[in-house]
Structure 1
Amino acid sequence: MSEVERVFRAEYGRSVAVLVRVFGDLDVAEEAVQDAFAEAVRRWPETGVPPSPAGWIITTARNRAIDRLRRESTRDDRQARSALLHARDEPEEVGAVGDERLRLIFTCCHPALNPAARVALTLRLLGGLSTAEIARAFLVPEATMAQRLVRAKAKVRDARIPYRVPGREELPERLRAVLAVVYLVFNEGYSASSGGALVRGDLCAEAVRLGRLVVELLPEEPEAVGLVALMLLLGARAPARTGPDGGLVRLADQDRSRWDAAMLAEGRELVRWCLRRGRPGPYQVQAAINAVHSDPPPTDWAQVVRLYDHLLVLTPSPVVALNRAVAVAEVDGPGPALALVDGLGGSLARYHLFHAVRAELLRRLGRDGEAEGAYRRALELAGNDAERDLLLDGLGSVAGSGPPPGAG
């Protein structure tokens, strides 16, 4: 990974958040930060990385934005003049940054935006995810997601949604969307939707950090605590999820000695805290499921199924039903699980894990021809190289002669 790419992953969201505060405009902030990183790509290989890369990006972005706004403001562009006046009211210092990212999350999660737009906009602005990556996370075409992002940013601008953490009385109504955003940021880090690396540790760490900040705001909110517990329990397994060659290692095959013991202990303690509160919600139940997976083997799959039953009542989504079917396969066998999975096909047709799970169940049932077709469909939809390699292994096991030419 190049130094510019490393700084991009670590500082993109922070830089955009700072520039939104400075200019009060999402488009201006995002374009300025992108311009600054483009300049870094051109200059840093020759001049070297500056002592404070994040400060260099923010300062360069701010200056580029001011120059562009000055040019545009002379053409009777009222939006440009407004952003320029907003910037003049801000202090010059950009090194001492408060928690701008949390403010940006609450801006993106304003009730004026629909739930899907809130999540997508935050992933774009804070996570630095491409439109294609966000589209894959939402299982929609890239063009559809591009339109949603444009409309969401226009809504923020036209509705004059404030850039701030709301007052305490406003927090509960925003909490669900904020937690959803934090979790999707974590998910993109834990299982990157594209690229060569399975895990993006920068996104995982940022999601945990933001989750802890939400808990600081609402310390008695079990769902916020449950989300932090879930991310810690999942994150603890990250070091063992890939082998020496970068390939994906299934949970059952992971070297548990590589799991992060401190993260596991904290995650389990937070699950116990939630259980004592007796106000279960989706993140708490998912955390409990992963606490069971963190217990010494053999896994209590019957308990996992019961927890998924509860989760389906709270969150009746096809993805939850798919995960429940995986647990059912361990309790009742692949046949009953396949019947459950086949009932989900219409809603998950573009989801590569649906076809991967179906392929695995068909393979276990000895229906290799059908399993081959399911593996091929999963490969068409998967964007991450590590996941594709595992799917190719599965395809080779049922196709007999290995993967087809060009499948990798």
Structure 2
Amino acid sequence: MTSATATTPGFHRMLRTLFSIGFRPFFLAAGWLAAAWVLIWVTFLLRGSPSLGSLHPILWHGHEMVFGLAAAVIAGFLLTAVQNWTGLTSTTPASLGVLFATWVLARLGFLFPDAIPLWLTSIADLAFFPLLAGMMARVLWRARNRNNYLLVPLLLAFAVLNLAIHLDLHGVRPGIGIPALHLTVYLVTLLLVFMGGRVIPFFTERRLPDLGVRRWPVLDWATLLVTLAILPGYLWLGRDPALAPLLLAAAALNLIRLLAWRPWGTLTVPLLWILHVSYFWIPVGFLLQGIHLLGAPVSWSIGIHALMVGAMGGLILGMMARVSLGHTGRPLEAPAVITVAFLLIVLAAAARVAMAVFPVAGWLLLLTGLLWSAAFALFALYSTPVLLAPRKT
């Protein structure tokens, strides 16, 4: 038997394992993409290379962070979670492979815009969220899982905003891309508020039952609705001071909600404190944007990056680590390398927000990118063999 023949069954087993459930391929790809794409962005900022072709640099960066990184994690998380909610299988290896392939093709198109036609990139990229929504809708409908029906229109809202960005990239509606990107940031944040409100107190209560976590349904609904209201508010008002009260109200409600979960009691459990610390960046981001609109010398971008680097980056890293450990049969204890990754992502967020005080300190921007990339590289290096191996029994 030749070496190639001997290794083929092992390779096929690895592929079957990889595409057996949603979190495996998407978390694996998300970890490496998060590490590499930000390094590419920092290189572009410092040297003007690599070439982004005719793509708007800010649109390229923002789009890939939400429709590349966040989209992969959303898909991996929801396709895995819906199986727990319904008891039904959400994908087959073939359907998961098709969804993953559309995501990969779109990422390659944005990475090599001079080599891959933009129309082909757009077809793949715009297909992703409708395909994911269809998969989720099929399982939720079969199980009559009405509590999660709203996830389907939420996923389709991502598709609509992505279409707006592509219309700008193709020159059909110039200028629409940046507002659509900001709306997408708020939509991602809404999803973090919605899912965070479910899982963070739940995980905390299970691990630390004596902590005294508090949950008030009225507060949860008020927080969710006010955060949701930011989307039509921004769509109608744009960056107008009239939007500030809504942003400040969302900041206050999210902070009160977080304090009710008693985050200070989780500091000895890395898989918990990363979720609490990351959620904290949501009220910080809304606060920074609110005071910007009221005339404070804080850039709008600082608030955006508090939400994206701090809240999205930290919660993505924390949830990917937890799901990868738990669903592969490993103890829910963060290995040392993952704990270091958590510390690095928190420092990355702090460095980026520190530019509110030192706006011309370009080294802080470089430091943010390096810390972010190092955090996700550590996760990717640890999780790659975990995600490719069968579940431990």
Into which bin does the TM-score normalised by the smaller protein fall? 0.3 to 0.5
Which has the greater radius of gyration?
1
**Which structure shows the higher helix fraction?**
2
**Greater RCO (Cα-Cα under 8 Å, separation 6 or more):** 2
TM-score, L = length of structure 1: 0.35
